[in-house]
Amino acid sequence: MTHPLIFIGYLGVPYLYFIMFWRLAKTTPGKRLMGMSVVSQKSFDRMSWPQAGLRACAYALLPISIARSLVNPRLKLIHDEVAGTSSVYKY
């Protein structure tokens, strides 16, 4: 039997990775390579801790979100709508 803390750690580490990078650096290493960052829709500055947490939780809906954007490219991805964030290019 696997210890419950191992299961919690297995799920929590990826979420913490995204939350910490989005909140502290406004980007993840992959987005940085693409010249992008993630910002709050209201201020176009660093997102809040709750926004980062909501966005990470909503990532579970990513396959649905991508399918939805294929049907209507003007729609934002679900995790951006839920958290009130936007992915932007840094030119």
Asked whether 29 and 17 are in contact (CB, 8 A), the reply is: no
At 11-59, the pLDDT tens digits run 788 889 999 999 999 999 999 999 999 999 999 999 999 999 999 988 8
Q: How far is CA 13 from CA 8, 16, 57, in A?
A: 8, 5, 12
User: pTM, whole model, 2 decimals?
Assistant: 0.79
Residue 7 has pLDDT above 80, yes or no: no
Contacts of residue 67, defined as CB under 8 A and 6 or more positions apart, other chains included, come to none
At 62-76, the pLDDT tens digits run 888 888 888 887 878
CB atoms within 10 A of CB 32: 14
Asked whether 41 and 85 are in contact (CB, 8 A), the reply is: yes
Q: What is the pLDDT of residue 66?
A: 83
Query: CA angle, corner 21, sides to 45 and 11, nearest 5?
Result: 130
